[in-house]
With several copies, the nearest count.
Chain A
Amino acid sequence: MTALAEQRPAPADDASDEEGVVRQEARPEELRLLEALLFAASEPLDEAKLKERLPEGVDVRAALRALQAEYAPRGVNLVRVAGKWAFRTANDLAWLLSKDVVEPKKLSRAALETLAIIAYHQPVTRAEIEEIRGVSTSKGTIDVLLETGWIRLRGRRKAPGRPVTFGTSEAFLAHFGLDSISDLPGLEELKGAGLLEGGLPPGFSVPAPSDDPGLREDEEPLEPGDLDLTLGPPAERIESAGEGAGEE
């Protein structure tokens, strides 16, 4: 018995005995039994089962309703699931029970190429990227790059079809350890690094990139709806884009 008393968490050091009596009188014992049963149950319990377990004469339905009301404002609610009763984490606290797990991913070759073209040739439209790459760019590639947070929609080109223009973000600079976009190596440096070898055709050039946030003369601002339209799965994308953009 002493062991049992020890087990009980000390409610409040002062006058706990007298206290306990008062409160237990105020709250019917069946609510204690009910909450213990529902807490420990490994599956939702129906009223018949609860009635069977509780002492005779308990109005199970009334007790359930009282308990439900008591727990309604709490972090754990008493809910009815398919006619049975169970404690569940309050709906608005679902976020507490999810944990972000970082999943390392590598960019595909196509995505790397597209990213590089956006970096060097920004502001650049999808059609222009395709022109440079010589192959069409799948929507998925652009979506992945948007997900990385390394590219961003800059505006729209003042041209027929008003295509969206892409540029790099600050997160891009941060990830690749660049102080500014002009730190991207130019033609001579690429050659020096052995990345561009052999005879290059005359007139071959590598642009001097600029990620100036101000729109160019041939660009116009995005409209409010543009962000939603252009992107892939909305919820996830916005979240991860937000993470990337958070750096700015």
Chain B
Amino acid sequence: MTAEDQPFEAQQAAVPADEPALIVDVEGFEGPLDLLLTLARQQKVDLTKISILALADQYLAFIEAARKLHLELAADYLVMAAWLAYLKSRLLIPTTGESEGPSAADMATALAFRLRRLEAIRAAAEALTARPQLGRDFFARGMPEPVTAVKRPEWSATLYDLLSAYASQRRKALARVRFAPRTVWSLAEARAVLERLVGSAQDWSRLDEFLIAYVVEPSMRATVFASSFAATLEMVREGHIEVHQDSAFAPIYVRKRVASDAPTGDGHAPMTAANDQ
């Protein structure tokens, strides 16, 4: 009966202004207050100056008509009718002395206030919907460009993690190393390799480059270099190769000794290891 979703048009059609309370269509109203407000509007006066008495009469007449048509009325319409009938009687009978509860005039004022308030909020709702609305009258950017998140890793580890990783790793490695056989490149091995490698090189070449293939395993590095260098010196002494180094820690160069004793062709006399011996 409250029929909230009833379109507004239905209500307007319900009560033409010139024939109040004759066409009865209670379906069109959103409750007794809405009906009262519609009836009040027909008085065509400012709601502050409305005659509550006249309004009560119209309402009661409307309800009477609806009953005659055997329309079912929701309870709240009937409650309102009873209340208005009571109010009407209180307004008509002059008050005698102190009575309990609010006076009839206060009750009438309160009703008028509620009607005004309902009317005002309806006007406000209309004003609100008359405003330009987003996506209907004004628009936001159709293709917003979202902010992209760039992930930045934040690494975390505790000192405890670090230390326990270190300690357990060291212990593990130690246990392994103890049983591992010592890896050594013998002088003989080194010499055999050098003879093969230098044998093909006519020009100065870096010793460490010759040996690159043999130092892949880190544990082999020290022994490979030590043995090779010793072997180099031996081969120099025997006159098979020449070796030179520009300064301490500079790369060591070796080449096959040229058969003749002619000075080297590249203009500078290399400091040969043979001279040093």
Contact = CB atoms under 8 A, between A and B. Distances in A.
Contacts of B167: 190, 195-196
B4 A135 contact: yes
Nearest to B32: A134
A200 B110 contact: yes
B162 interface: yes
Given A113-B166, A131-B218, A240 B152 contact: yes
Interface in B205-238: 208, 211-212, 215, 218-219, 221, 225
B120 A190 contact: yes
A80 to B, nearest CB: 13
Contacts of B150: 98-101
B67 interface: no
Nearest to B250: A158
B contact face: mostly helix, strand, loop, or mixed = helix
A107 interface: yes
Given A42-B142, A106-B156, A161 B137 contact: no
A24 B150 CA distance: 33
Interface in A117-170: 117, 119-120, 127-128, 130-138, 141, 144, 147-148, 150, 158, 160-161
B181 to A, nearest CB: 14
B212 to A, nearest CB: 8
Interface in B167-206: 167-174, 176-178
Nearest to A137: B4
B131 A177 contact: yes
Interface in A56-78: none
B265 interface: no
A42 B128 contact: no
Contacts of B168: 195
B127 A186 contact: yes
Interface string A77-94: 000000000111111011
B138 A90 contact: yes
Of A105, A120, A195, the most chain B CB neighbours within 10 A belong to A195
Contact of A184 (B6, B124, B156): B124
Interface size class of A (residues with CB under 8 A): 35 or more
B27 interface: no
B149 A177 contact: no
A133 B154 contact: no
A110 B32 CA distance: 14
Interface stretch (A15-23, A25-33, A201-209, A222-230): A201-209
Given A135-B4, A202-B113, A42 B140 contact: yes
Contact of B165 (A87, A113, A196, A240): A113
Given A136-B2, A195-B164, A104 B149 contact: no
A103 B129 CA distance: 14
Nearest to B31: A135
Nearest to B137: A94
B125 A115 contact: yes
| 6 smallest beta-carbon distances between A and B, as pairs | A134-B33, A135-B31, A116-B166, A116-B125, A160-B208, A42-B144
Interface of A: 3-4, 7, 36, 39-43, 86-91, 93-94, 97-110, 112-113, 115-117, 119-120, 127-128, 130-138, 141, 144, 147-148, 150, 158, 160-161, 174-178, 184-187, 189-190, 193, 195-196, 198, 200-202, 204, 206, 240, 243
19 contacts: A39-B139, A40-B140, A40-B147, A104-B154, A113-B165, A116-B166, A119-B124, A131-B219, A132-B173, A134-B33, A141-B4, A147-B155, A175-B135, A177-B159, A195-B113, A195-B117, A195-B120, A196-B171, A204-B174
